[in-house]
Each structure stands twice: as structure tokens, then as C-alpha cells.
């Protein structure tokens, strides 16, 4: 059995933490921009587990979206570049709105 390299595990942890930071920043901006309240309805529209509250659902969805559309997180530098990408939030916001009926976003 191969034992994991400590440096590799530390890098993985740093990468995951940076990813969570980016996701939280993006999700918080959506929550503020759309004035999303406490509740449990968002998970339904975002195709997530129905037991999630609105804030958690948005964070889970944003993380899933980010990993799908930007699957290569091989280094901290890549995540740093992504964190400073000005178009990232616009893309995420557009995709977020696509999950809701047109009458809800008008």
C-alpha cells in the first residue's frame, strides 16, 4: 500500500481551502445581489438535495458549477488566477438565473 506524501496532502488541503474561499465569495455575492432569504426553496430549483437551506444550496451549486466549468485546479496559481477573473461572477450569475422560471427573474 502506497502512503500519501505529506507535501502532496498539504497541497491538496491548500487547494481545497482556496477553492472554498472562491466559492464562498461568489455565493455570497449572489446571495447579496438577489437578496436571498432564509428558507429551503433554492435547492429545488438548483437540482440539489431538498434538505439544504438556501445559503448552503447556493454554495453547493456554485462549487459544483465551478468544478464543472473549470475542472483543472492543479495548482494554487491556477486558483489565484481564477479568483481574479473578472468574468467569473458574470458567468456564474447567468447560469444561476437559468435555473429559475422567466417570471421569477423578470
Q: How many C-alpha atoms does 39 have within 13 Å on its Cβ side? A: 9
Please tell me whether residue 48 adopts helix, strand or coil conformation: coil
Residues contacting 95, CB < 8 A, separation 6+: 65
Asked if pLDDT for residue 105 goes beyond 60, the answer is no
**Residue 8 banded pLDDT, cuts 50, 70, 90:** confident
Asked if pLDDT for residue 106 goes beyond 50, the answer is no
Instruction: Give the span between the Cα atoms of 47 and 96, in whole angstroms.
Output: 11
Centre a 10 Å sphere on the Cβ of residue 98 and count the other Cβ atoms it contains: 8
pLDDT digit string, tens, across residues 31-47: 999 999 999 989 999 99
pLDDT digit string, tens, across residues 52-94: 999 999 999 999 998 888 766 655 566 666 666 778 889 999 9
Instruction: Give pLDDT, residue 15.
Output: 82
Amino acid at each position: 500500500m502506497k502512503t500519501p506524501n505529506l507535501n502532496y496532502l498539504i497541497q491538496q488541503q491548500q487547494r481545497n481551502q482556496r477553492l472554498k474561499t472562491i466559492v464562498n465569495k461568489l455565493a455570497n455575492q449572489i446571495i447579496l445581489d438577489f437578496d436571498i432569504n432564509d428558507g429551503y426553496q433554492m435547492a429545488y430549483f438548483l437540482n440539489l438535495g431538498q434538505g439544504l437551506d438556501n445559503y448552503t444550496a447556493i454554495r453547493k451549486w456554485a462549487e459544483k458549477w465551478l468544478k464543472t466549468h473549470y475542472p483543472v485546479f492543479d495548482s494554487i496559481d491556477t486558483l489565484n488566477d481564477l479568483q481574479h477573473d473578472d468574468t467569473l461572477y458574470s458567468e456564474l450569475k447567468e447560469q444561476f438565473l437559468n435555473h429559475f422560471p422567466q417570471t421569477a427573474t423578470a
